[in-house]
Chain A
Amino acid sequence: MSEKTGETLLEVKNLRTSFQTDAGIVQSVRGISFHANRGESLGIVGESGCGKSVSMLSIMRLLADNAHLKADKILFNGEDLLHKTAKEMRSIQGNRIGMIFQDPMTSLNPLFTVEEQLCNPLMRHLKLSKKEAKARALKMLEDVGIPSPEKRLSQFPHELSGGMRQRVMIAIAMCCQPELLIADEPTTALDVTIQAQILDLMAHMKQEYGTSVILITHDLGVIASICTRVLVMYSGLVMEEGSIEDIFYRTGHPYTAGLLASIPKETKEKLIPIYGTPPDLLNPPKGCPFTARCPHAMEVCRQYQPPLVPLGEHHSSACWLHHKSVKAKIGEVKL
């Protein structure tokens, strides 16, 4: 697949997802556009509730039935996912797009063996016989670094440790050699030492299988370790998009700057938290959602949502600080 590296694999335009709840309509994703290229790792960062998981579940069509999904387009390898039937989606789910979830403790069915859970997609998508599927499953478990895979295959999830279970999840997601792997906070629920192992494993699997990865996390450190491009989300909107260098060294949005300032670093400078809480998505503000917490907030921020403006070749940011009138008045703001 390496010959096609660089071309667009997934393209999402103006995705909006909302949920009907008792309290009203929660607008979790409010019009985001992004793309993922073949062979690259895209990171999506943002705090809890910013819509990063919901947008991925929307693409995979795994939303609860009180959800409402709208988009201008969702193209996967040129195919329109938006108008596929549930049945057509199933030949993509687990086959061409694999997914790993946050909590390995609850993501595996407690009443079925690892073999059952791993062989099901193999037999379904690759049309393998039971025997072939088992052989393939064994190899997968070996690949994800599980010792004595024969024994593990017949075990139940409760007999495995958290890290082991996440390895099984990765094996399940990768067993059909998907073109895209969506990892939704794959290391959040794990111990720090295990986190590094799982990230290494994901990087290794990506290399070996030539899979593109979308990694969702709230941890910029995790992004830095394996991603090439980053999407910063806040309150259901994209705040900033760019390469890892753009985000870390040419930061273009006060929210990204806030996130960076709150990561512990080796130098003993003081950690600066972002004060306040994100806006209520039941009734989102009409202007920039970060206004309430932004140290640079102006009147215009409260009234108008800034569009994403290009700052470099692949770098763009949604902030009024980049507007010429603002620059004329207060000059370039160092973020």
Chain B
Amino acid sequence: MPTIEPNEPTHSLSMTDEIPEALLAPLSDSEREKETISRPSVSYWKMCWMRLKKDKLAMLGLTVLVIMTLLAILVPMFSPYTYDQTDFAHPLEWPSALHLFGTDKMGRDIFVRTMYGARISLTIGFTAAAINMVIGVLYGGIAGYLGGMVDLVMMRIVDILTGIPSLIYMILLMMFLGNNIQSILIAMCLTYWITTARMVRAQILTLREQDFALAAKVCGLSKWQILIHHLIPNSMGSIIVTVTFLIPSAIFQEAFLSFLGIGIQVPMASWGTLANDAIEYLFSYPYMMLFPASAISITIFSLNFIGDGLRDALDPRLKK
């Protein structure tokens, strides 16, 4: 426990002392005004940012993520190798100054491939999260705000969707749409928004009963205006937190699908593809697995730290 010493009120002037004449002057209103709250008022988002800045793990995560993004953009641009450039003279080479992360069975440079994979994985992660946020917020918002029959039907659909064995469906969709980034994104749109939708619906259900929503109604705002301008912004904190955790799970899912060999196809590279490539050489050339596996783990680690930090910053009640 930190030792806190509250500054005690100073009784340096006792009742028996004489009070100098100068101190007996009454205070004017403006002088009294100065005694009132001295703390500057800070907006909610600025306060959140200030809290987030204090969270060391979240800031570490943010730094790692920025570095990873920069590497993903820059390395493939400036590297002497391209991601699909084969070199049959130097297959399966251990990491060296020439090939930082070594080469794979076809002599491709794993460093460039890992960074290229970062492009794909990060793109998928962020895009999937954004798409699912939009779907989830709209779906949950509409169901929660309109209520009644609409809500009932919409929630039944969600119930059916949760009964779906999602792996089987993703694979089916991938087979149908072909193995590329777009189809992975579409496959993820199938069930990923459900958590967001449920959360938003629950939030809207409580928010719409609150007095500020009633006040907006009294002011003559339409249902949609209330939903878009009052209810959704008020649940933005929880939405952002849910979405931050969607990003890592989308990256996970892509890696998983590609690891199974039904996601991104060679010679394109994602972290999952690279890991899949490496599995047959696991015992003889473990470095091939080390780099993509570490890249995924470190990225997701950072994203989770950012998510945790954001959650605490947006809703400090959850922390203290």
- Physical contact A–B (CB less than 8 Å): yes
Q: List A270-299 residues whose CB lies under 8 Å from chain B.
A: 276-277, 279-280, 282-286, 291-294, 296-299
Scoring B residues 4 to 34 as 1 if CB is less than 8 Å from chain A, else 0, what string do you get?
1011111111110011011111110001110
B23: A residues at CB distance < 8 A: 298-300, 303
B25: A residues at CB distance < 8 A: 298-299
Whether B26 and A297, one on each chain, are in contact in the complex, defined by CB atoms closer than 8 angstroms, is yes
Tell which of B2, B27, B33 touches A301, judged by Cβ atoms closer than 8 Å: B27
Whether B18 and A292, one on each chain, are in contact in the complex, defined by CB atoms closer than 8 angstroms, is no
Alpha-carbon distance between A301 and B23 when the two chains are bound, in angstroms: 8
B36: A residues at CB distance < 8 A: 276-277, 279, 292
Q: List B35-68 residues whose CB lies under 8 Å from chain A.
A: 35-39, 51, 54
B26: A residues at CB distance < 8 A: 296-299
Scoring A residues 1 to 36 as 1 if CB is less than 8 Å from chain B, else 0, what string do you get?
000000000000000101011100101001100000
Tell which of A16, A298, A323, A329 touches B15, judged by Cβ atoms closer than 8 Å: A323
Whether A325 and B19, one on each chain, are in contact in the complex, defined by CB atoms closer than 8 angstroms, is yes
Whether B15 and A322, one on each chain, are in contact in the complex, defined by CB atoms closer than 8 angstroms, is yes
| A320 on interface, CB distance cutoff 8 Å | yes
B13: A residues at CB distance < 8 A: 300, 303-304
Alpha-carbon distance between A194 and B110 when the two chains are bound, in angstroms: 75
Alpha-carbon distance between A68 and B36 when the two chains are bound, in angstroms: 26
Chain A interface helix/strand/loop/mixed: mixed
B18: A residues at CB distance < 8 A: 325
Chain B interface helix/strand/loop/mixed: loop
Whether A25 and B32, one on each chain, are in contact in the complex, defined by CB atoms closer than 8 angstroms, is no
A304: B residues at CB distance < 8 A: 10-13
Tell which of B4, B10, B15, B51 touches A22, judged by Cβ atoms closer than 8 Å: B51
Whether A20 and B4, one on each chain, are in contact in the complex, defined by CB atoms closer than 8 angstroms, is yes
| B178 on interface, CB distance cutoff 8 Å | no
| B267 on interface, CB distance cutoff 8 Å | no
B2: A residues at CB distance < 8 A: 20, 68
Whether B35 and A22, one on each chain, are in contact in the complex, defined by CB atoms closer than 8 angstroms, is no
A263: B residues at CB distance < 8 A: none
Whether B10 and A291, one on each chain, are in contact in the complex, defined by CB atoms closer than 8 angstroms, is no
With contacts A276-B36, A291-B32 taken as known, whether A325 is within 8 angstroms of B12 at the C-beta atoms is: no
Q: How large is the interface on B (under 10, 10 to 19, 20 to 34, 35 or more residues)?
A: 35 or more
Whether A31 and B24, one on each chain, are in contact in the complex, defined by CB atoms closer than 8 angstroms, is no
Whether A66 and B8, one on each chain, are in contact in the complex, defined by CB atoms closer than 8 angstroms, is no
Report B23 CB to chain A, min CB distance, Å. Answer: 4
Whether A305 and B38, one on each chain, are in contact in the complex, defined by CB atoms closer than 8 angstroms, is no
B35: A residues at CB distance < 8 A: 279, 285, 291-292, 302
Whether B54 and A307, one on each chain, are in contact in the complex, defined by CB atoms closer than 8 angstroms, is no
| A160 on interface, CB distance cutoff 8 Å | no
Whether A325 and B3, one on each chain, are in contact in the complex, defined by CB atoms closer than 8 angstroms, is no
| A309 on interface, CB distance cutoff 8 Å | yes
A285: B residues at CB distance < 8 A: 35
Alpha-carbon distance between A223 and B33 when the two chains are bound, in angstroms: 32
Alpha-carbon distance between A299 and B27 when the two chains are bound, in angstroms: 6
29 pairs from A and B in contact (CB 8 Å cutoff): A16-B6, A18-B6, A20-B2, A21-B320, A25-B4, A27-B6, A30-B9, A31-B8, A31-B9, A65-B1, A68-B4, A277-B37, A279-B36, A282-B39, A283-B38, A285-B35, A286-B10, A292-B35, A294-B32, A297-B32, A298-B25, A299-B27, A300-B13, A300-B23, A304-B11, A305-B9, A305-B11, A307-B11, A322-B15
Residues of A within 8 A of B (CB): 16, 18, 20-22, 25, 27, 30-31, 64-66, 68, 70, 237, 276-277, 279-280, 282-286, 291-294, 296-307, 309, 320, 322-326, 329-330
